[in-house]
A and B are shown apart, each in its own frame.
Chain A
Amino acid sequence: MNIEYPISVTVNGTRYDRDVEPRLLLSDFLRHDLGLTGTHVGCEHGVCGACTVLFNGQPVRSCLMFAVQADGQEVTTVEALGTPDDLHPIQEAFLEAHGAQCGYCTPGFFMTLVPFLEENPDPTEEEIREAIAGNLCRCTGYQHIVDAVKLAAAKLGS
């Protein structure tokens, strides 16, 4: 069997100590080892953005990283945002503007948007479209997502 290495990763504020193979993808570690299945995988080659998580606060594609690279680091996933009874303002905005259809791409969009809206509290439509250009969605045609981002910015600003 392949050799495993101990890692210690803080995910959504909880510290996890695990032994993992060096080749284990961060996305698989989150989804299958930790059971945090809200992070989705659409391509495993870094294009679709579905697997986006925050790595020390910055959006990264978890399918392009190994779990061992997260040793000693902080990861944030969609599970940290809100719950069905207590949605995060971005989630609320997606609900109100119908920003999700199948919802498969959606968590990736959220993790791109959290830091984006922190840095750009009042973005233009063009800035929004640029910001989410690295996340693919096949269902929505993006318009309701763009509407949702505008709404989210308003909610976060007030």
Chain B
Amino acid sequence: MTQKHVGRRMTRTEDPRLLTGQALFVDDVQMPGMLHAAFLRSDYAHARLVSIDVSAARERPGVVAVFTAEDMGDDWKHGPPLVSPPPTVEDIVFHSRTHVPLVKDKVRHAGEPLAIVIAESRYIAEDAVEDIWVELEPLEAVVDLEKALDPGAPLVHDDLESNLAAHLVQEKGDYEAAKAQADLVVKRRIYIDRGAAGAMENRGIVAHWDVRAQQLTLWDTTQAPIPIRNGLAAMFGLSSHQVRVIAPFVGGGFGPKIMMYYPEEVLLTWATLKMGRPIKWIEDRRENFFATTQERTQVHYGEMALTKEGRILGVRHDFLHDTGAYDPYGLTVPLNTQSHAMGAYDVPNYSSELKVVFTNKTIVTPVRGAGRPQGIFLAERLLDIAARELGIDRLEIRKKNLIPPDAFPYEHKIIDQAFAPLVFDSGNYLATLERAAAAIGYEKFIAEEQPRLRAEGKHVGLGIVSFVETTGVGPYEGARVTVETDGRVSVATGVGTQGQGHFTSFAQIVADQLGISPRDVRMVTGDTAEFHWGTGTFASRGSVVAANAINAAALSVRNKVLKLASKILETPEEELELADGQVRVADLPHRAIELGELAAMANPLRGAVEPGTEPGLESTDYFGPKYGATANGAHAMILEVDPETMMIEIKRYVTVEDCGTVLNPLILEGQIHGGVALGIANSYYEQLVFDENGQLLNASLADYLIPSATEIPPIEVLHEETRSPLNPLGSKGAGEAGTIPVPSLFAQALEDALQDYGLEILEMPMSPNRLFELLHEESKTP
């Protein structure tokens, strides 16, 4: 078999529909008799609910129903946790506090829903929200992560002794002993703040309980349709076959759309079951800023111990992680931070104490990067500072410490986000870094260009960093591949798609196995009626776990095709080939049979089917990796700062990615570009600003600055390819790779550009304002 399609820059099969406005997004769903929901949400971040009076809202013409927590009776429950809480291993403290559909007693973050209005139109529903009379008694809000743990701090959850949500210590080797041997120990406090995922499509749901068919259908902007179906069925006492969840085209996910069960998912389902009419809710952008999950706030007290030659002896960081008002996503994000706090480096000793903290802010779940950018920021920053103090070149110190190619699988002896041992499977970390250095022209820039530009009065700096990305975690995904009688192939899988080009890269895999054109693959993703086993699109799992399941199913079908064709063509299987939609005898291409014809023969209407054979040319297979793969890469950039305005111009941006086998370079490049753009946003433009009352001060796209085409530079994408040994395709996934190293890269490049100021950047995001403040705090002039 010749590998023809995997690895090709193929244009996307899903595009013709998307580009013409014909692709279905949730808000495009229209149903006869459909009602519209709107929510009353708390303006306060922390408050006691004293009373709520919805009578005026109920009387407004066009309003069909208004519900509060009280109206839900016994159906009012805390949501189940999304990620199972940590196993009760030694020394882990974990207080699971999950959110509720509607506030009953106490508001814990601004934007928490207090009541749902269901009306004939969205306009009327929003009018009626204004009719509700609610009395809230404001409480002191928990906002600052460090003050949250002060004795006497107000409590987010009154039944807990403090705002500590979790406590976990991880140790590798003996950091203190290593530190005692060290020539240099650098210590810094590092702060990273919150951002929004900012998908262009806000969340939305259409829920419909068809009373006669006894069938619940939910169109949902989710990254995890199957778990949503299973959860809703369990919650409402339905069989899972009575619930169909469809994640149609989704306008960007980036993490928060895997959260479940959002209060709106539960409430719309509950309401349609009660009312028997379809109900639509579409989040508006303001709600999105309060009610859709966010990520990133952490405070680290970090240390790195090194020899005078620049070898890292150990890393220690004690850190606080903000989980917001509840912690349904368990420890995934801060465990990812720990998995990345040693970066791409061979670090023999590590010690980390994590405290997860409840605050009166929106719930935290992964946002593209998912704890990894913070870990990489810590490792890269401490290494930069150490290099400076030791007088070692920053590229040299990195090369000295990268995990060498012969050290894989590299066991880190700590646990990862799945509570499994953290192991980096494969890679050539030195190669990616050297390639990035060569591409950006590191030596020449430092030796010639920078001095020349500085002499001209230009503040130009370079950054270069390495990173890893743990990807493609289990447990598993599955797929069903079917040859249709028209010769085309249908593929169904459980993961939804939010723009990653799954339709195309998955089709390329199937095309190679079955000798057809990828254009002849019909792909269904994200519809539980088509496939109902799986977990969802997160941690770059699509191109690893789902892709390998599809490969396995396509391979099984290939074997069935060969077996049947061998009988019909009276030729041994080894002499057959699959190409051009046919099975044929390799040496006698005229002795051939069309795949479609074969599919019809495999499912005869009369006659006998041999015992033990399954009808049709179809197979369902699953793939679950032994453990997650780890991608690696290096980013480099050159930027110029205008010291008057603190505006920056990125002169060049280079990425080298090693994400194993590349399924489709065109799609991969797009993923990297988008990831880098988010990283740049996280580094210099976007910050969710909360005041001391837990009020978000910039809850609109006019105030929260998502970069446009004039801020994001052209990005050069280069590849290295180290196949993962953990799956047959050898893929690793790259959904988050673009984002992860960018803040650390920015910090280094800004310092380099402003080296006369002796600036140290220990926080993210930066912004022109913040940079200006920092330079004035230092009150140093060049």
Contacts and interface: CB of A to CB of B under 8 A. Distances in A.
Nearest to B15: A95
Contacts, number: 183
Interface stretch (B434-442, B472-480, B662-670): B662-670
B282 to A, nearest CB: 8
Given A103-B23, A138-B200, A45 B16 contact: no
A1 B201 contact: no
A10 interface: no
A140 B30 CA distance: 29
B27 A103 contact: no
A105 B201 CA distance: 8
Interface stretch (B575-583, B614-622, B671-679, B755-763): B671-679
A22 B254 CA distance: 37
B160 interface: no
A39 B21 contact: yes
Contact of B20 (A82, A129, A137): A82
B709 interface: yes
A83 B20 contact: yes
B27 A37 contact: yes
Contacts of A42: 200-202, 251, 285, 701
Contacts of A62: none
Contact of A45 (B200, B501, B700, B712): B700
A23 interface: yes
B252 interface: yes
A47 B701 contact: yes
Interface in B536-571: none
A142 B200 contact: no
B715 interface: yes
Contacts of B123: 21, 23-24
B710 interface: yes
B250 interface: yes
Contact of A103 (B19, B254, B710): B19
Interface string A5-18: 00000000000000
Interface in A118-154: 128-130, 132-146
Nearest to A36: B21
A102 B252 contact: yes
A44 B284 contact: yes
Contacts of B61: 1
Contact of B701 (A1, A24, A87, A136): A136
B21 A95 contact: no
B200 A79 contact: no
Interface in B667-720: 667, 669-670, 672-678, 700-702, 706, 708-710, 712, 714-715
B198 interface: yes
Given A103-B499, A142-B677, A142-B712, A47 B700 contact: yes
A141 B285 contact: no
Interface residues of A, number: 63
Interface in B1-46: 11-12, 14-23, 25, 27-28, 30
Contact of A139 (B12, B674, B709): B674
A38 B12 CA distance: 19
A72 B710 CA distance: 36
* Most A C-beta atoms less than 10 A away, residue of B61, B285, B667, B709: B709
B700 A43 contact: yes
A91 B15 CA distance: 9
B222 interface: no
Interface in B733-782: 738
Contacts of A101: 252, 499-501, 670, 674
A103 B18 contact: yes
B666 A98 contact: yes
B11 A144 contact: no
A101 B710 CA distance: 19
Nearest to A23: B123
A98 B485 CA distance: 32
Contacts of B17: 84
Contact of B706 (A81, A94, A138): A138
B255 to A, nearest CB: 12
Question: Which of B250, B251, B500, B710 has the most C-beta atoms of chain A within 10 angstroms of its own C-beta?
Answer: B251
A78 B21 CA distance: 6
Contact of A98 (B12, B675, B678, B708): B12
Interface string B163-201: 000000000000000000000000000000000011111
A52 interface: no
B263 interface: no
A106 B116 CA distance: 32
Closest 3 CB pairs of A and B: A38-B21, A104-B251, A102-B499
Given A38-B20, A132-B709, A138-B678, 5 more contacts: A43-B701, A98-B669, A102-B498, A139-B499, A139-B670
Interface of A: 1, 21, 23-24, 28, 31-32, 35-48, 50, 77-79, 81-85, 87, 91, 94-96, 98, 100-107, 110, 128-130, 132-146
5 contacts: A82-B19, A96-B11, A101-B501, A103-B249, A105-B200
